[in-house]
Structure 1
Amino acid sequence: MTNNPRLGIMLMIATTFVFALQDGLSQHLGSRYNVLMVVMIRYWFFAAFVIAIARRQSGSIRNAARTSQPVVQIARGLLLSFEICVMVAGFVLLGLIESHAVFACYPLIIAALSGPILGESVGWRRWAAIGVGFVGVMIILQPGFGVFSPAALVPFAAAVMFALYGLLTRYVARKDSSATSFFYTGTAGAVSMTAIGLWFWEPMIPTDWIFMGLLCVSGAFGHYLLIRTYEVAEASAVQPFAYLQLVFASTLGFVVFGETLRLNVAIGAAIVVGAGVFTLLRERMAARRRA
């Protein structure tokens, strides 16, 4: 692995842009067809990509699938597939801007749960940042002001699920290779979504099949860029730039889908992102002290 932070940052920016496009395609298709079917087809392509990558890195599918913790690995894959369904539902209900504004709190949830789940130490500064970040989430949701919509809890639920997925990924990384974890991410999700999504199959018009193809390609390409990002730079150096997905997705929501950016959402998102970046920087400093 090389260490080229500048290239890593450029790749992370490209990754977030591709993932934002993927989210826009998901919103378009999810508003027209059953979300479970859309995610199922997306996972078929993703699973093929994952198997190819895992086989190349491990030498064979059998090597990639070898693990001493299959239950946790399968649980990770299931959790991510369900999280994607919930998040796409959030795009349909709330739009890209508000969904991503709420979802941006997931690093704070990871930081908050890393202690009880992984036994990691969380200092008072990071706890303070977590508290400030969730104040930002409350500003976005506006509970108790007569305009709160229960639909706003959908992307928050997705953020909790994605945080748990991230924590489980850290947990299995203690024993399994990244190729093994990536293999189970794709295959477990594809199996679960096929078992569920086939019951909700709907015919699609030819134009939307083109969009579906773009969704599948963008998903695989985005993960390829993410893999390359972590190959050329340390995660702590590039992770703060992952928040640019909020910027790109919001721009897409505003320009393409005609969404509006409410003042409370802008203020709350700025607080959440600021707290999240601070938390990431504190984790980076703690990792350097341990090294």
Structure 2
Amino acid sequence: MSVPASRSSLHAMFFMALGIFGFAVLDALTKRLTEDYGTWQIIFLSRVVTTSLILAFVLQSHRTIAVLRSSNIGTHIGRSLLVIATTWSFFECLRYIELAYAVAVAFAAPLFMTALSGPLLKEKVGWHRWSAVLVGFVGVIIALQPGADGISYGAALALVAAAAYALLQLWLRPLAGRETSHNIIFYTTLFSGLIAMPWALAEWRTPDTTGWLLFLAQGGTSTIAQMFIIRAFRQGEASLLAPIEYTALIWVGLFGYIFWDEIPTIQVFIGAAIIIASAIYIAQREAKRKGG
């Protein structure tokens, strides 16, 4: 029996909201871990946890790991390099700037995706979307709050993370329909963990009990959040779900205030509002274009 479209959309929005909340928790846990551990160690241990959970999920669901066979190993390795670039720059930026500030700047990713889809994927980007991209980058500049010496190191890292994430998502498109969700997550986490391992060992600090619990919570939250997001996109249209992504700013703002007494400046909120409005407009134009 098929699920009515309206009900399916509500399910998609529900799972998207859960996934975004999960990623906000993940960001808060990561910021806490940066107080005691190096970025490479955080990446490596989070990948160990996520890879283990995916293997457990596959074995529980399919009784064999044979379903993880892939003919796209080269693509997975390439994406893993971008995952490392995205993750390291974002995790590292959390050492230097407020949680909500980092997430607000990272919202620029859809702007980069639109700007890069033309030269990289040969997609036609009309003047409506180009205008939204330009307006969005005005919001980025406002949120970055550049001073006489330019933007801060932490803010620059957040911007790098947004650009790398955009490339990562563009690289995901060739895998669409060719790989299962658990394969994509498994190989991305496996290879990115292997890449991070030498640097993690070089800066290794053995966690105490609290540290191990934080690492387990971080890796588990990452896995669950990804699963929720994937389920959401299976049931709903991207244009419907895109605005929900920006509820992350509410959660990280709340977490930042509760745990670190962080209160973002008005410039961050103004810039974030412009970025979000531009990204939603781009998503709506993209949906209209695909719909003919």
**Would you call these one fold, judging by a TM-score over 0.5?**
yes
Indicate the residue corresponding to 1:257 in structure 2: 260
Indicate the residue corresponding to 2:50 in structure 1: 46
Separation in 2 of the partners of 1:57 and 1:189?
A: 24
Indicate whether 1:195 and 2:224 are aligned. Answer: no
Indicate whether 1:29 and 2:23 are aligned. Answer: no
Alpha-carbon contact 1:65-1:184 (below 8 Å) kept: no
Deviations 1:195-253 (A, max 9, x none): 33122210223222222221122112111212221233233321221111122112211
Indicate the residue corresponding to 1:218 in structure 2: 221
* Paired-residue identity, %: 27
Separation in 2 of the partners of 1:206 and 1:134?
A: 43
Alpha-carbon contact 2:181-2:230 (below 8 Å) kept: no
Separation in 2 of the partners of 1:130 and 1:59?
A: 46
Deviations 1:95-122 (A, max 9, x none): 2011011100001111111111112121
Separation in 2 of the partners of 1:55 and 1:33?
A: 32
Task: Tell me which amino acid in the other structure corresponds to 1:49.
Answer: L
Separation in 1 of the partners of 2:228 and 2:180?
A: 19
Indicate the residue corresponding to 1:116 in structure 2: 119
Indicate whether 1:205 and 2:208 are aligned. Answer: yes
Task: Tell me which amino acid in the other structure corresponds to 2:268.
Answer: V
- TM-score by structure 2 length? 0.90
Greater mean alpha carbon deviation, residues 176-185 or residues 132-141 = 176-185
Task: Tell me which amino acid in the other structure corresponds to 2:43.
Answer: V
Task: Tell me which amino acid in the other structure corresponds to 1:278.
Answer: Y
Indicate whether 1:242 and 2:245 are aligned. Answer: yes
Query: Which of 89, 97, 121 is the aligned partner of 2:92?
Result: 89
Identify unmatched segments of 5+ residues in structure 2.
none
Indicate the residue corresponding to 2:82 in structure 1: 79
Greater mean alpha carbon deviation, residues 239-248 or residues 45-54 = 45-54
Separation in 2 of the partners of 1:201 and 1:146?
A: 34
Query: Which of 4, 14, 20 is the aligned partner of 1:10?
Result: 14
Deviations 1:72-106 (A, max 9, x none): 22110221133112111111110201101110000
SS at match of 2:96: helix
Identify unmatched segments of 5+ residues in structure 1.
none
Task: Tell me which amino acid in the other structure corresponds to 1:105.
Answer: A
Task: Tell me which amino acid in the other structure corresponds to 1:183.
Answer: F
Separation in 1 of the partners of 2:184 and 2:213?
A: 30
* Residues 232 and 52 (structure 1), Cα distance of their counterparts in 2 relative to 1, 3 Å cut: farther
What value does the CA root-mean-square deviation take over the aligned residues? 2.2
Indicate the residue corresponding to 1:133 in structure 2: 136
Task: Tell me which amino acid in the other structure corresponds to 2:28.
Answer: G
Indicate the residue corresponding to 1:281 in structure 2: 284
Greater mean alpha carbon deviation, residues 239-248 or residues 94-103 = 239-248
